[in-house]
Amino acid sequence: MNSPQIRKVKIVCSHDCPDACSIWTTVIDGEVKEFKGDPDHPITQSSLCGKVNEYERVVNSEDRLVTPLKRTGPKGEGKFEPISWDEALTETAERIQKILDDFGSRSLLQYYYAGNMGLVQRFCGDALFNRLNATQLNQNICYYGADAGYQSVVGSGYGIDMEDVKHSDVIIIWGCNVVTTQMHLLDFIRQAKKTEGGAELIVIDPYLNRTAKKADQFVKIKPGTDAVLAFALAHEIDRLGMNDQSFIDAWTVGYGEFKKETLDRYPPEVAEEITGIPQETIKDLALKIAKAKAPVAKVGIGLGRNSNGAAGVRAICCLMGVVGSYHKLGGGVLYDSGCEFRLDLNPIKHLDWRTRFDDEPVLMTDLHEVLSEDYNPSIKFLYVHGCNPAATNPEQKRLLESLSREDLFTVVHERFFTDTCNYADIVLPAPTFAEVDDLYKSYGHLYLQMSKKAIEPRGESRSNLDVIQALGKKLGFDDSWFDASVEEIVTEVIESTDDPNFEHIQVEDVLNCETLRLNIPRETPGFKDGFKTRSKKLEFVSQDTSLFEGMPSIPTYNGDVFGRGQDQYPFKLITPPAHMFLNSSFGSDPKSVKREKLEPKAMIHPQDAKELNINDQQEIELYNDLGSIEIIAKVTEDTQPSVIIAEGTWWPSHGIGKKGINQLTSSRLTDFGKGSTFHDNRVAVRAVIK
């Protein structure tokens, strides 16, 4: 009897998470059996989240798509039959060509996001669709609001290295459930708490999530009022004379105007009325921040998904400037490190192949409108990969109607049969990250790493690069790119990147899958030599309003955008991440679904439940002008009165009546930055009587 062949292969997690974990897989006789965190990776440090530490069940799932499928019934019914790859590619290419001939290139749309964070597999579709001059996509569905707020104050730049949080003494987790969404940050928080004097962990959030339960102090804030709290804290620090005037004088612009026009309007007593936080709590928190040697605010992207989301992040960045925390090791605003990976992605995307730039990219959040019959130009071909819009997009009712158009030819490239697949004409099987080569950066830390496939793709599944290259050849393109391997493309990316952060990074080290830190000094504040704004200083008053359409030069708070609409729909609806899901990526995994209690639930405060005669575990209806869903009530004080919390982007097929939470979310945009507002919608609630 032959002994089993055992291999260990180092790969990288492809899921949309700032930690970008390095993983050791165990492969036995060609089948992956184990996923373990890389003990030598400075961030992963041997540990993986509960979603990925048993990822072999996802890779080996019997529910994986393993062959191309063709629709045989009406759209939405999910009736398909297996076909060959040649049939699938030929029909797709022929349809693309016919649409080009009959309607023009504007009728083609590639729709994708971060279901796969590998740079080649995620972005390679751009090369083909740029060559075709297809309609372009503005990927505003996630972080645009938060980004705009951050950049308007400090510009681009990572600000603080995640590893330097161990030097912080007051750590504020603001609008971010890091236990669920960035678990490795907890390791550095623990180190900070173990130092002499011990760091204090403060969580500011509308509900008592997993991170808030670990806090030394939890501050429950009314949704969307973060800017007001930050202004009030800065007001109180200024009133006490505890602002860092030397930092303000040397490294900022506009403080006097900011103080007069904004801070003076929001003393703690005014903020109490707006935020719901007692003024004494605000004063106490301001004193803690002012006394801290190195206070840091970890700002969540989700905080930006509010009508005042950009203003909220902007205000927090200003607050940390008032105390000069950006020049203190471990201080500042911990937001995003992805901006430091300034790779030349043209060898993947080939924007240079486009010959038409005369149209505005369409917004991801407007997909329901872009695909509608009345939209001009009419989209006739849709290629979906790396996302599940039938579950994750706002205005879901209208979107499903648009996806049901018979004159819209839709191709979906997926690992599992998602809700979006129900509306496809062709479904193509995709591999997991264990089955492809790719290059990964992070938006949480400063390490680059390539991943080589641990096993061959399951069944007949093919990578996005393979599919895009094959379609290009079917369409008659003979550029060498359409025969290039991932290694060849990555080599060109590294060799063509001319940025100081990559000075020491060599192609051979990348191809050897080494963990490579960017050329950024350790234990050094990110803005020690100046900020990445037009003035090179922190801008309390923006010096370049042209970057953000509609943004006032002075930070402000715009109030509740719903106005009187709150009378008809009195509850704020927030849709934060579920612990065992990541967007919609794990909706196919029975264990993740089981650990999330098998079905979607909506948290409602006991006070509201009593007034509406709603019992725990009772079926309730949430509704507004966009739609309605039935869902199970979870009566709990973890939320607050008039605030409904529905954790997780559950697949609609898991919900009662096969409806998802995004039936209720709108495509309204943030105050500036054109970001999504998933966490700022109003609903009414009533018990379901059967």
Q: What is the model's pLDDT at position 547? A: 64
One domain for residues 129 and 175: no
Domain boundary among the residues 285, 312, 335 is at: 335
Is 196's pLDDT higher than 90? no
Q: Is residue 521 part of a domain?
A: no
d(CA 573, CA 48): 31
Q: Is residue 237 part of a domain?
A: yes
Q: Is residue 670 part of a domain?
A: yes
In tens, the pLDDT along 549-596 reads 667 799 999 998 887 657 899 999 999 999 989 888 888 888 888 888
d(CA 337, CA 320): 18
One domain for residues 357 and 242: no
Alpha carbon separation from 248 to 244, 258, 613, 687 (Å, rounded): 6, 12, 54, 54
One domain for residues 278 and 174: yes
pLDDT above 90 coverage of the chain, percent: 93
Give 128-163 as a DSSP string: HHHHTTPBPEE--SSSHHHHHHHHHHHBBS--S-GG
Q: Is residue 550 part of a domain?
A: no
CATH code, domain with 132: 3.40.50.740
Strands 332-334 and 295-299: parallel
CB 655 within 8 A of CB 618: no
Phi, psi of 267 (to 5 degrees): -70, 165
One domain for residues 24 and 137: no
One domain for residues 203 and 272: yes
Residue type, 163: E
Q: Is residue 514 part of a domain?
A: no
Averaged pLDDT, 605-615:
97
In tens, the pLDDT along 264-309 reads 999 999 999 999 999 999 999 999 999 999 999 999 899 999 999 9
Q: What is the DSSP letter of 73?
A: S
Q: What is the model's pLDDT at position 23? A: 98
Give the angle subtended at the CA of 60 by the CAs of 56 and 61, to the nearest 5°. Answer: 110
CB 160 within 8 A of CB 333: yes
Residue with tokens 């072999």: 56
One domain for residues 150 and 268: yes
Strands 252-253 and 538-539: parallel
Sign of CA dihedral 370, 371, 377, 380: positive
In tens, the pLDDT along 77-96 reads 999 999 999 999 999 999 99
Query: Rounded to the nearest 10 degrees, how much is the dihedral formed by the CA atoms of 593, 595, 597, 599?
Result: -20
CB 320 within 8 A of CB 197: no
Preceding omega of 377 cis (within 30 degrees of 0): yes
One domain for residues 250 and 353: no
One domain for residues 192 and 265: yes
Residue with tokens 């509201």: 608
Averaged pLDDT, 630-657:
96
Note down the domain range covering 214. 145-335
Question: What kind and span of H or E run contains 622?
Answer: strand 619-624
Q: Is residue 361 part of a domain?
A: yes
Rg over CA atoms, the chain: 25
In tens, the pLDDT along 144-160 reads 999 999 999 999 999 99
The residues pairing with 572 across neighbouring beta strands, listed in sequence order, are 643, 682
Neighbours of 245 (CB within 10 A): 13
In tens, the pLDDT along 352-401 reads 999 998 889 999 999 999 999 999 999 999 999 999 999 999 999 999 99
Give 671-688 as a DSSP string: SSS----TT-EEEEEEEP
One domain for residues 52 and 127: no
Residues in the chain: 690
CATH code, domain with 610: 2.40.40.20
One domain for residues 298 and 185: yes
CATH code, domain with 275: 3.40.228.10
Alpha carbon separation from 43 to 47, 188, 467 (Å, rounded): 9, 9, 33
Phi/psi-derived region of residue 406, left when phi > 0, alpha when psi is between -120 and 50, beta in every other case: alpha
What is the 3-state composition of the chain as percent helix, strand, coil, each rounded to the nearest 5? Answer: 35, 20, 45
d(CA 624, CA 663): 9
CB 115 within 8 A of CB 386: yes
Phi, psi of 27 (to 5 degrees): -115, 125
d(CA 466, CA 484): 10
Residues whose CB falls within 8 Å of the CB of residue 337, separated by 6 or more in sequence, listed in order = 18, 158, 161, 162, 442, 443, 444, 445, 446
Q: 462 or 567: which carries more pLDDT confidence?
A: 462
d(CA 297, CA 335): 8
Q: What is the model's pLDDT at position 565? A: 58
What's the number of CA atoms in the CB half-sphere (13 Å) around residue 328? 27
Q: What is the model's pLDDT at position 552? A: 78
* Average pLDDT along the chain: 96
Is 14's pLDDT higher than 80? yes
CB 316 within 8 A of CB 230: yes
Question: What kind and span of H or E run contains 427?
Answer: strand 426-429
Q: What is the DSSP letter of 358?
A: -
Is 126's pLDDT higher than 90? yes
Q: What is the model's pLDDT at position 598? A: 84
Domain boundary among the residues 283, 309, 335 is at: 335
Q: What is the model's pLDDT at position 1? A: 61
The SS3 of residue 303 is: helix
Domain boundary among the residues 303, 335, 367 is at: 335
* The pair of three-digit structure tokens given for residue 495, joined into one six-digit string: 């060799």
Of 37, 124, 38, 145, the C-alpha closest to 675 is 145
d(CA 175, CA 500): 33
One domain for residues 105 and 192: no
One domain for residues 672 and 575: yes
Helices (H), 266-357: 268-275, 279-291, 309-322, 346-349
The residues pairing with 676 across neighbouring beta strands, listed in sequence order, are none
In tens, the pLDDT along 509-538 reads 999 999 999 999 999 999 999 999 999 999
Phi, psi of 8 (to 5 degrees): -115, 125
Burial (0-12, 13-18, 19+ Cβ within 10 Å), 401: middle
User: How many domains does one find in the chain?
Assistant: 4
pLDDT above 70 coverage of the chain, percent: 99
Query: Rounded to the nearest 10 degrees, how much is the dihedral formed by the CA atoms of 15, 111, 447, 507?
Result: 120
